[in-house]
Amino acid sequence: INKIGVFTSGGDAPGMNACIRAVVRTGIYLGKQVVGIHQGYQGMIDKKFTDMDARSVRNIIQLGGTVLKTARCVDFRTYEGREKAYQNLVDAGIDALVPIGGDGTFSGAEELSREFNIPVICVPGTIDNDLYGSDFTLGYDTATNTVIEAIDKIRDTAASHDRLFFVEVMGRDSGCIALHAGVAGGAEAILLPEKETAIDDLIHKLEEGALSKKSSCIVIIAEGDKNGGAYNVAKRVKEKFNFYDIKVTILGHLQRGGTPSSFDRVLGSRMGYAAVKSLIAGETRKMVGLRGNEIQLTDLVDAIHNHSFKLEEDLLDMATILAI
């Protein structure tokens, strides 16, 4: 391996910059050249390559988002798109890749490396925390803390007005942010994509709370919950329940931005460092992950096929009891 290409793809996540910095500096320290590929797979197709040196990643460890920018690229899903991207990599002398992203990013990397035999070591970067082979993904810790900060603020106004708030958080397929932020924020109920909640059961729970003198309530809803999102749930609850004035807050993309937490900076650094060392050691088609505070490699195909957040039922049961 002479020249490593690093890029971010899919949704941005806090901690990606710490990882880019680690890839660049570890690669250079070990005598390799490192190229930054802008806007993920799209940049690979459009030849958006920049030679990196140790100074090109100065002062970025503390920044949210990704300095390499990111995109969701449709063209890369075709063989022609990947062939063009690979030819551009060959022309630029890039002979190994560190993709940072979620399962979509991994699928693209897996196909490219299988079809054209280019070594890849992926880094799990997504706020959703839904990748098999890592206890945590980059950005999840920061995003959850951002959500909790928002819930705390909503709780102030909910309590002042005696209101019921439905707060929608990110997670199209993963309820991890909702579950953990719900527990940490003391939510009265948590609705997740992994477990269906009947509206009548929710209403019953809220009624019990109201009758036991709860003066305000917060319900956390993951965007992928099968009831169709916070506005729909609020509308249906309103039809049968009139103990509180009801409000809805959708937290949206503010959950993706912001200064990465210490945890995400350390995780990004560890994963970027390990990705480069693994490539140089001859590994390929793997994902670096954190398992029990140790960096471990998982086969990329396993990481992709087993991708999903494994619902911690015990946390959900506990949250129900702690919210009485």
Binding mask 211-240 for ligand F6P (x = CB under 6 A): ------------x-----------------
Measured from the CB atom, the residue of 102 and 108 that comes closer to ligand F6P is 102
Classify 125 in phi/psi space as left (phi over 0), alpha (psi -120 to 50) or beta. beta
168 scored as a contact of ligand F6P (CB under 6 A): no
Residue 192 lies near ligand F6P (rule: CB under 6 A)? no
Pattern 264-293, binding to ligand F6P, x per CB under 6 A?
------------------------------
40 binds ligand F6P per the rule CB under 6 A: no
The residues assigned a catalytic role are 128
Residue 64 within binding range of ligand F6P, rule CB under 6 A: no
* Chain position carrying tokens 């249906």: 236
| Cα–Cα dist 266/100, whole Å | 15
Is 214 assigned a ligand-binding role in the annotation? Answer: yes
Q: Residues 110, 128, 168, 194: which binds ligand F6P (CB under 6 A)?
A: 128
d(CA 42, CA 132): 26
Nearest to 120 by CA among 89, 77, 141: 89
Beta bridge pairs of residue 190: 220
Which one among 6, 8, 11, 187 touches ligand F6P, defined by CB under 6 A?
11
Q: Which stretch binds ligand F6P (CB under 6 A): 18-26, 28-36, 75-83, 164-172?
A: 164-172
Q: Which helix (H) or strand (E) holds 37?
A: strand 33-37
The verdict on whether residue 172 carries a ligand-binding annotation is yes
Taking CB under 6 A as the binding criterion, the range among 57-65, 123-131, 206-214, 296-304 that sits at the site for ligand F6P is: 123-131
Q: Strand 286-291 to strand 217-222: parallel, antiparallel, or no bridges (unpaired)?
A: unpaired
Our CA angle for 240, 246, 247, nearest 5°, is: 140
Closest distance to ligand F6P from the beta carbon of 188 (Å): 23
Rounded distance between C-alpha atoms, residue 100 and residue 106, angstroms: 8
Closest CB to ligand F6P among residues 37, 131: 131
Taking alpha carbons only, the member of 167, 182, 169, 145 closest to residue 312 is 182
Burial zone of 232 (CB within 10 Å; 0-12 exposed, 13-18 middle, 19+ buried)? middle
18 part of the interface to ligand F6P, by CB under 6 A:
no
* 52 annotated to a ligand binding site: no
Residues contributing to the annotated binding site for substrate: 126-128, 163, 170-172, 223, 247, 253-256
Residues that bind ligand F6P (CB under 6 A): 11, 72, 102, 126-128, 170-172, 223, 256
